[in-house]
Structure 1
């Protein structure tokens, strides 16, 4: 098992068969489990800078005083430059060739490292959202859902419900870094579900600018009575709750098209246990054939409690009307 595979496992990028095999290996091998946990902690540290520290008092003044005390007759940097460069043009050509060859060799590795860091950032964001949802679930019987008579509310307002409960202080976690940065300058206006709904009715243009994030939400499923019910806060099995947003337009109906957040390579999915897993296809499991459409192949709440559907942020909880 190489380091690349361990990193992919920590980021949730391995396919299910290999992932399950590694989970079993880690369960039986404490040393392997410790290595995996160390990698995950390292990824979290890279994604989160932690606390900021102020410089010691008077550092700037002491630095200026130290520079001012330098003897005036000390040689300057330019004094060390020779008057004649002891190299021929051919030497520069050889050095340039070596530099270009090295650059061509390193570029793919640098790009891969950057992609992995962006992937890690997406995983970190979804884990942060999962923590907020977990805290919400400790005081509510279900995950965020609008009042029963407000099924026309858009699913992206799950974030407004978390925000209103004081559980989502950093709205930056709603932006997937893999596809570039979204303009979340207007998102600070998001204060509560009622405030967002009022803005949607009175100032649609401002509302559109405010609800501008990369993750979709599972509105729940439709009961036999026809009523849409939210996901229970303590489901009996793993349910997809939040994920990279689905493809738009006609691509949504094509099961071979994944989320645009990762340029079609797959999607990160946050489950009800707080874990984030990477799906290379839209298949969730035998009871949930498409993470973006219900088992009736519609962009609507699930047809049963195991049928999860991740709606785009601006699709209503209870219906696809108005998309």
Structure 2
């Protein structure tokens, strides 16, 4: 039977076709890569679907502070299984359910019978006369379980506990990997939304990207955030990655307004400039004959304009993944050690400096607090 699409009661323009899109599974990283790519493509061209995704994402619980940002040690489960297999192969651990031999088990409380002993009864039943409490005696040495049988039982308990521990490690590793994948997808969604905001800004400003005048508080790379927020194109959360420290304490994070930066003391201004760009770096542009050129967009699929900023430990995501946004709006995740095209060179120009590029094809992504004008002086 054909499924009838369900309309969104909150959106009168919804034609019901978006009901088949698993947005919740996409946001939680629970869909396969092929379906994730299809949903991402639909989000790129469907503003109503993006709004639905934003509402679902806003309703998701934020419990990242209870989880470690560090992935489990690689190969933990394999090493544990290998150790258990070697122990079983040594013959020191019997398989569960192995026979304990032909030694019969004796009752826990053998009866002591003597010709002169009289049954103690109260007349209520025959059982009391057959098993008087006065006739119970401690186990004789010959009646106790052999030491070998007790050892087998202890080893069975050990094997059972080891199996439970192995299963717990496997489940924990799968859960942590799932959470890292979900964080990576949410970070990619934030970077995509910034790319759309940059394109909207360029359309309103004759093809120019957000940039501040030299000699003002907005001459730094992170000025893109206050300028986009001033146009109401982005929110505070969009410049953060879910796995970052700022995201875990995002109650205290806010993109400053341009007029607020002008009123700050030098110390407060330096702090604001270093943090207002969030977890992403922005392009410094390029210079020609020592003159800094305006930041503009030409839709090049090869020129990088934004990327994840690496942390002190390397890439921000597990597996050394770095998300890169290109001028045409498409996003690609790269593994830093395995991708010579997108490695540390994206954060320096061809001269090896954190400064504007030497030509239009020399992309340089800088942290929020780097001044385009001052960086040019070091070229």
TM bucket normalised to smaller = 0.5 to 0.7
Match of 1:228 among 266, 288, 292: 292
Q: Is contact 1:179-1:262 (8 Å) kept?
A: no
Partners in 2 of 1:207 and 1:34 — Cα distance? Answer: 40
1:100 corresponds to which of 159, 162, 165? 165
1:154 corresponds to which of 216, 220, 226: 220
State the Cα distance separating 1:101 from its structure 2 match: 3.4
Q: Secondary structure at the match of 1:199?
A: coil
1:245 and 1:259 in contact (8 A); partners too: no
Query: Is the 1:217–1:243 contact (alpha carbons within 8 Å) kept by the matching residues of 2?
Result: yes
- SS at structure 1 position matched to 2:333: strand
Q: Deviations over 1:217-274 (max 9, x none)?
A: 00211122x22123322244432111111456xxxxxxxxx95422671311111111
C-alpha distance in structure 2 between counterparts of 1:236 and 1:130, whole Å: 13
Query: Which residue matches 1:272?
Result: 327
For structure 1, the residue ranges without an aligned partner over 5 or more in a row are: 1-9, 12-31, 53-88, 249-257
The CA distance in 1 between the partners of 2:315 and 2:308, in whole Å, is 8
Which residue among 362, 372, 379 is the counterpart of 1:307?
A: 362
Separation of aligned partners in 1, 2:356 and 2:267: 27
Tell me the residue number matched to 2:203.
Answer: 138
How far the C-alpha of 1:319 sits from its partner, in A, is 2.6
CA deviations over 1:169-225 (Å, ceiling 9, x no partner): x21111112344444444436123x4324426473476368637211100211122x
1:217 is aligned to: 282
* 1:1-323 equivalences in 2 (<5 Å): 36-38=37-39, 49=56, 99-140=164-205, 141-150=207-216, 153-168=219-234, 170-182=235-247, 183-188=249-254, 190-192=256-258, 194-199=259-264, 201=266, 203-204=268-269, 207=272, 211=276, 213-224=278-289, 226-246=290-310, 259-262=314-317, 265-281=320-336, 283-284=340-341, 290-320=345-375
Aligned partners of 2:314 and 2:181: how far apart in 1?
17
Q: Which has the higher contact order (CA 8 A, sep 6+)?
A: 1
What secondary structure sits across from 2:307 in the alignment? Answer: strand
Tell me the matched-pair count.
Answer: 244
Q: Is the 8 A contact 2:283 2:304 kept in 1?
A: yes
| Distance (Å, rounded) in 1 between the aligned partners of 2:273 and 2:334 | 29
Closer, same or farther in 2 for the Cα pair 1:276/1:39, shift >3 Å?
A: closer
Distance 1:126 1:48, change over 3 A: farther
Please, what is the CA RMSD of the aligned residues?
4.1
* Structure having the higher Rg: 2
Q: 1:204 to 1:33 in 2, by over 3 A?
A: closer
Q: How many Å apart are 1:298 and its aligned residue?
A: 0.7
Compute the displacement of 1:142 (Å): 1.2
Task: Indicate how the Cα distance of structure 1 residues 218 and 233 shifts in structure 2: closer, same or farther if over 3 A, else same.
Answer: same
Q: Is the 8 A contact 1:217 1:312 kept in 2?
A: yes
Instruction: Output the CA distance in 1 between the equivalents of 2:277 and 2:208.
Output: 25
TM-score normalised according to structure 1 size: 0.62
- Name the CA distance, whole Å, in 1 between partners of 2:223 and 2:178: 34
The answer as to whether partners of 2:309 and 2:367 remain within 8 angstroms in 1 is yes
- Normalised by the length of structure 2, the TM-score is 0.53
Q: For structure 2, list consecutive stretches of 5 or more residues without a partner in the other structure.
A: 1-25, 28-32, 44-49, 60-152
2:286 and 2:357 in contact (8 A); partners too: yes
Q: Distance in 2 between matches of 1:302 and 1:120?
A: 30
Q: Quote how far apart the aligned CAs of 1:152 are.
A: 7.7
